[in-house]
C-alpha cells in the first residue's frame, strides 16, 4: 500500500489523500473520558483506523489558541465527552471544542486576564458529571461543563485553595498541580507539584467533596508522629520537609475502591542531609483506600533519593497471566528504565526484585542508603550508568571534548551528586517520563517511550556568588566587569527590571544561551545578586534557618557535546514493547531524529521525547513526543514497523486521544513544543480517514 504523508509548511496544510475512504455509520460514539484513558493504559477498542488504512489519514481539523510564547509548553491529553473536546492551552486557559470540527465552544481564563509570565507544564482537565475540574497555580476550579463558568457552589466562588489544609501557614506554602485530579464516587482526589528546593511543601494526597470542595481526607506522604513510616525521617522532618508528591497523577480502580499513586522524591532533591533515612513515602508506588485515604500497601523504588528519580507517571491497571491464572495487577514505569509489576490487591511483586549494594561515597553530611531495589524482570528498557565506551563518536572532535569533561566527573548508577559534577544516567527526564505507558489487553504488551539522555548534577556552595561563578563568570568575569565577548553586568539593575533580567536568564539573548532549567529559586537569587551585588549566603543568620543547606544545585544540565548533541552514542531515544506475561522486551526501536543530522545521513538516532503513546484494537500504536523532528507517528503494535508519519506545527509533547463520533474515528494531539529549546506552539490537530464524499 502506498504511503501518504501530511506536512505542515508555512502555516499551510498540504493534504495528499489516497484512494481509501470510509462511509461513516451514524450514531456510533466512543469517548476518551479520562486523562490517560480508562485504567490509565492509553488503550482504545476502536479499529476503524487500522494497520491497513492508517497511511491514508488526513487532517480533519485544526485549532490554534494563539497564546504560545517563547519557551511555552502545552502537554494536555485531550478529553472527549458528549461531542466536546477539552484541553488546556500554553497560558492555562481551558478550551472546549466541537470534537468533530474543532470549532471553539467556550474558553475560560483562570488568571482573570493576567496572562502568563512563565511557562506552565499542565496535562489537562477532568470531566465529572456537570463539571470540568482543572487546576491553575494553587487553585482547583470547578467549571460548568456547558458554559465554562465557575460553579459558585464549589469551594469559594468555584475554586478551592490547595495551600490550605497542609498543616503549615498558607503564606509559606507553594503548591500547584500539573496533572488532572481523579474522581471516585463523590470524591475528587488530587496530588500536587511542589518546589524541589527548600523551603518546600509536603506532597500530601487529598480528597475533596466533588460538589462542595470540602476536604474529606488527607494521606500524609511525609508521615507525622504515630503514622507508619514516621521513623524513616528525622523526628521533626514532617514540619519542614517537602516533596514526596504524586505530581504525575492518580489512577482509580472503582471496582476495588482503591486509588493508586506514584510519588516523587523528597526536597531538596540532591542533598538530603536534613532528611536522613529512607524517606517514606517518597519514590513509592502507593495503594490507598479511595474512600478513606488509608494505606493499603506501598513499595519504595528508591530509598533516600538524591538523583531526582521521581516515579514519572501514574500507575497503569493491567491484567496479566501467572501460572495459568489471570491476575489484576499494577504496572509502574520508572525514570531508571525499569518496569515494576505488582498484584493490585496485595502489592506482591509479580517478578523478582533484588536489593543490591550501591556506592556509599557522598558529600559531607550525606548518608546514602546501603542498598537499592533492582527488578530482575523485565530487563531495563534504558541503559544503566554511563561509561567511557558509551561516549559519542559522532565526530573525533566531539568525542575528545566529551571524554575530557567526562573524566573530570563522577559517573555510575547510584553515584551521589558531587562538587566535581556527577553524570546521572538515566537522566532526570528518564528513561520513562510523564507521558506514561500504553498497555494492550489483547497482547499484554506494555509500550514505553524512553529518553537516553545523560544529565549532569553538580553541587555548589549555597551562596549567590558560587551560583554566579558557575553560570556567568566564564563570560562576564567574576567581578562582573565583562569581557570582549560579553557586556559588563555592573549596574545592571539600573538598566533592566528584575523581570527583564529573569527572562534573559531563562531565554537567553544575542549570543548568550538561556538557562530554562536553572530552577526558579536559582533564577530569583541570581537576579537579586545581579541587581544588588549582595550575597545572601554571607548572612550568618541564614544558617539558623532549618531550611538552610550547605550546598545547592548548579541547575539542570543535559550532557551535550560542543555542537549541542547528546554526549553519548545513539540511540538517544527508544520505543519499547514489553511483554508483561513473560517479563521480556518484545521489540525496541530508535525513536526520533534530529532533522539536520538526518539530512547529513545520520538517521535513526532517536531523540529526547516527551508525551505518551496510545494503542488501539486496530493494531496501531500512535505517538507524537519526539522533540525536534515534530513528528506524529503510527506503528504496527506487534512489530514496531512504521506505518505512517506526519510533521506537526510544533512537537506533540503530549499524549494523544482517539475517539469516535457519528461513526468516524479521530486521533487528536496537542502541539505545544517548547522543551529543551524546541520551538513552541499552541494548536490541536485531529486526524481521520477521508470521507467517501471527499475521496479521490
Mean pLDDT rounded to a whole number for the chain: 93
- 253 contacts 346 by C-beta, under 8 angstroms: no
Q: Which residue intervals of 585-679 are DSSP H helices? A: 595-599
CA 211 from centroid of its chain's CA atoms: 29
Band of pLDDT at residue 1, cut at 50, 70 and 90: very low
- Bridge partner residues of 684 (DSSP): 63, 670
Q: Is the dihedral of CA 631, 687, 44, 259 positive or negative?
A: positive
CB atoms within 10 A of CB 89: 27
Range from 177-181, 371-375, 536-540, 634-638 carrying the lowest mean pLDDT:
536-540
Round to whole Å and give the CA distance between 349 and 185: 29
Give 1 or 184, the one with higher predicted confidence.
184
Question: What percent of the chain lies above the pLDDT cut of 70?
Answer: 95
- 680 contacts 90 by C-beta, under 8 angstroms: yes
Computed over its alpha carbons, how large is the radius of gyration of the chain? 24
Q: What is the pLDDT of residue 485?
A: 79
**Exposed, middle or buried, 161 (CB in 10 Å: 0-12/13-18/19+)?**
middle
- C-alpha cell recorded at residue 500: 527583564
Question: Is residue 592 over pLDDT 50?
Answer: yes
Round to whole Å and give the CA distance between 134 and 111: 12
Round to whole Å and give the CA distance between 371 and 382: 21
- Bridge partner residues of 445 (DSSP): 440, 579
Band of pLDDT at residue 82, cut at 50, 70 and 90: very high
Q: What is the pLDDT of residue 546?
A: 81
Range from 128-137, 192-201, 290-299 carrying the lowest mean pLDDT:
192-201
Question: Is residue 12 over pLDDT 50?
Answer: no
Round to whole Å and give the CA distance between 442 and 464: 56
Domains of the chain: 463-548 (1.10.760.10)
* Mean pLDDT value across residues 501-505: 87
Q: What is the pLDDT of residue 13?
A: 35
* Mean pLDDT value across residues 338-365: 98
Round to whole Å and give the CA distance between 433 and 609: 9
Q: What is the pLDDT of residue 117?
A: 67
pLDDT per residue as tens digits for the range 229-286: 999 999 999 999 999 999 999 999 999 999 999 999 999 999 999 999 999 999 999 9
CB atoms within 10 A of CB 147: 12
* Mean pLDDT value across residues 74-91: 98
Select from 675, 120, 193 the least CA-distant residue to 453: 675
Band of pLDDT at residue 545, cut at 50, 70 and 90: confident
Round to whole Å and give the CA distance between 148 and 107: 6
Q: Specify the 3-state DSSP secondary structure of 315.
A: coil
- C-alpha cell recorded at residue 147: 458554559
Amino acid at each position: 500500500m502506498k504511503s501518504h504523508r501530511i506536512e505542515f509548511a508555512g502555516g499551510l496544510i498540504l493534504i495528499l489523500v489516497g484512494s481509501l475512504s470510509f462511509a461513516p455509520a451514524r450514531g456510533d460514539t466512543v469517548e476518551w473520558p479520562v486523562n490517560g484513558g480508562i485504567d490509565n493504559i492509553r488503550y482504545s477498542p476502536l479499529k476503524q483506523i487500522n494497520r491497513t488504512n492508517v497511511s491514508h489519514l488526513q487532517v480533519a481539523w485544526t485549532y490554534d489558541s494563539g497564546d504560545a510564547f517563547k519557551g511555552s509548553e502545552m502537554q494536555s491529553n485531550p478529553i472527549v465527552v458528549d461531542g466536546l473536546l477539552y484541553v488546556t492551552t500554553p497560558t492555562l486557559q481551558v478550551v472546549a471544542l466541537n470534537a468533530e470540527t474543532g470549532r471553539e465552544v467556550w474558553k475560560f481564563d483562570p488568571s482573570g486576564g493576567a496572562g502568563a509570565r512563565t511557562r506552565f507544564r499542565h496535562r489537562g482537565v477532568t470531566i465529572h458529571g456537570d463539571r470540568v475540574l482543572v487546576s491553575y497555580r494553587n487553585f482547583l476550579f470547578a467549571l460548568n461543563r456547558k458554559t465554562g463558568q465557575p460553579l459558585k457552589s464549589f469551594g469559594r466562588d468555584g475554586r478551592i485553595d490547595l495551600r490550605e489544609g497542609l498543616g503549615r501557614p498558607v503564606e509559606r506554602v507553594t503548591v500547584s498541580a500539573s496533572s488532572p485530579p481523579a474522581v471516585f464516587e463523590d470524591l475528587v482526589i488530587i496530588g500536587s507539584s511542589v518546589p524541589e528546593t527548600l523551603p518546600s511543601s509536603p506532597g500530601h494526597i487529598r480528597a475533596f467533596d466533588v460538589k462542595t470542595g470540602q476536604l474529606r481526607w488527607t494521606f500524609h506522604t511525609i508521615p507525622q508522629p504515630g503514622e507508619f513510616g514516621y521513623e524513616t525521617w528525622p523526628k521533626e522532618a514532617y514540619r519542614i520537609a517537602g516533596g514526596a508528591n504524586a505530581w504525575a497523577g492518580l489512577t482509580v480502580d472503582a471496582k476495588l475502591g482503591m486509588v493508586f499513586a506514584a510519588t516523587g522524591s523528597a526536597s531538596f532533591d540532591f542533598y538530603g542531609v536534613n532528611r536522613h533515612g529512607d524517606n517514606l513515602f517518597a519514590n513509592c508506588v502507593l495503594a490507598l483506600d479511595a474512600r478513606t485515604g488509608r494505606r493499603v500497601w506501598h513499595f519504595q523504588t528508591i530509598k533516600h533519593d538524591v538523583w531526582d528519580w521521581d516515579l514519572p507517571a501514574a500507575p497503569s491497571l493491567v491484567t496479566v497471566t501467572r501460572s495459568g491464572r489471570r491476575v489484576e495487577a499494577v504496572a509502574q514505569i520508572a525514570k531508571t528504565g525499569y518496569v515494576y509489576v505488582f498484584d493490585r490487591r496485595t502489592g506482591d511483586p509479580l517478578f523478582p526484585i533484588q536489593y543490591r549494594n550501591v556506592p556509599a561515597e557522598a558529600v559531607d553530611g550525606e548518608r546514602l542508603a546501603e542498598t537499592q531495589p533492582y527488578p530482575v524482570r523485565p530487563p531495563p528498557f534504558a541503559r544503566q550508568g554511563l561509561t567511557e565506551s558509551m561516549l559519542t563518536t559522532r565526530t573525533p572532535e566531539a568525542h575528545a571534548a566529551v571524554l575530557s569533561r567526562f573524566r573530570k566527573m563522577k559517573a555510575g548508577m547510584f553515584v551521589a551528586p558531587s562538587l566535581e559534577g556527577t553524570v546521572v544516567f538515566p537522566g532526570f527526564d528518564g528513561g520513562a517520563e510523564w507521558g506514561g505507558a500504553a498497555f494492550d489487553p489483547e497482547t499484554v504488551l506494555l509500550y514505553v517511550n524512553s529518553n537516553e539522555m545523560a544529565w549532569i548534577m553538580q553541587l555548589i556552595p549555597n551562596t549567590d556568588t558560587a551560583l554566579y561563578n558557575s553560570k556567568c563568570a566564564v563570560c562576564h568575569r567574576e567581578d562582573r566587569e565583562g569581557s570582549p565577548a560579553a557586556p559588563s553586568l555592573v549596574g545592571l539593575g539600573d538598566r533592566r527590571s528584575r523581570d527583564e533580567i529573569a527572562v534573559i536568564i531563562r531565554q537567553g539573548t544575542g549570543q548568550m544561551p538561556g538557562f530554562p532549567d536553572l530552577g526558579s529559586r536559582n533564577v530569583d537569587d541570581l537576579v537579586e545578586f545581579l541587581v544588588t551585588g549582595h550575597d545572601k549566603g554571607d548572612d550568618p543568620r541564614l544558617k539558623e534557618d532549618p531550611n538552610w543547606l550547605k550546598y545547592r544545585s548548579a541547575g539542570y544540565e543535559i550532557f551535550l557535546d560542543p555542537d549541542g548533541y547528546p554526549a553519548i552514542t545513539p540511540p538517544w531515544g527508544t520505543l519499547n514493547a514489553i511483554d508483561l506475561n513473560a517479563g521480556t522486551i518484545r521489540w525496541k526501536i530508535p525513536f526520533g531524529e534530529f532533522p539536520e543530522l538526518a539530512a547529513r545521513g545520520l538517521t535513526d538516532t532517536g531523540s529526547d521525547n516527551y508525551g505518551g503513546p496510545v494503542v488501539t484494537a486496530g493494531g496501531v500504536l500512535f505517538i507524537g513526543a519526539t522533540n525536534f523532528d515534530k513528528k506524529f507517528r503510527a506503528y504496527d503494535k506487534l512489530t514496531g514497523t512504521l506505518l505512517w508519519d506526519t510533521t506537526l506545527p510544533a512537537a506533540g509533547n503530549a499524549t494523544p486521544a482517539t475517539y469516535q463520533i457519528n461513526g468516524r474515528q479521530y486521533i487528536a494531539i496537542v502541539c505545544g513544543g517548547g522543551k529543551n529549546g524546541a520551538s513552541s506552539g499552541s494548536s490541536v490537530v485531529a486526524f481521520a480517514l477521508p470521507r467517501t464524499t471527499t475521496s479521490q
